[in-house]
Amino acid sequence: MSPAAKAEEVRKSVDVLLSSSKSAEQLMKGVVKLLHETMLKYNWVGFYMLETEVQGPVLVLGPFEGAMTPHTRIPLNQGICGAAASSGKTVVVDDVQSDPRYLACSLETKSEIVAPIFARGKVVGELDIDSHFPAAFSLEDRQLVEYCAAAVGRYLENPRP
């Protein structure tokens, strides 16, 4: 199957999850499982959701697939995760070792993509994916990851009763 056909199939499965999930948590669990199982180079897949604390906003680890990470809470001024959430832009890093912002999660990680989730025009979280392969995330991957992030944003704007 071509990468484009595979991405299209995954998008269709995300649509099914979006229409069948009974909570945002269920949707996010379904998305991380789907991406981790289907996309061979997506070795760690997880959501971070923005929470506001006395000290300020922080990204809190949500549903994920892959090894446990030491980074369960990330301030907005730290990491590639912080950069994506604070800029509201997808960040793709082809070689994590050459990016000074990178917070190491696993020694095996070589590249990373983080796509923000928007609800009602504001960043509310993000979808983070690590790969054991350098430069694993093409434009097609970026579009797919942004599609998944947008699905969660749509759900959060219109949760099921």
Kindly state the smallest distance separating residue 71's Cβ from ligand SME, in Å: 4
CA-nearest of 96, 92, 59 to 74 is: 59
Q: How far is CA 153 from CA 54, 71, 157, in A?
A: 25, 23, 6
79/153 with CB nearer ligand SME? 79
Q: Which pair of structure tokens corresponds to residue 53?
A: 């604390």
Supply the minimum distance, in Å, between the C-beta of residue 26 and ligand SME: 21
> What gap in Å lies between CA 52 and CA 140, rounded to an integer?
33
Given the complex with ligand SME, which of 16 and 135 has the nearer CB atom? 135
> At closest approach, how far in Å is the CB of 103 from ligand SME?
4
**9 vs 108, which CB is nearer to ligand SME?**
108
The footprint of ligand SME (CB under 6 A) covers 44, 46, 69, 71, 74, 79-81, 102-103, 105, 112, 128, 130
What are the distances in angstroms from CA 113 to CA 1, 16, 80, 125, 159?
Answer: 23, 24, 8, 14, 26
* Cβ nearer to ligand SME, comparing 30 with 62: 62
* The two three-digit tokens of residue 118, written as one number: 């928007």
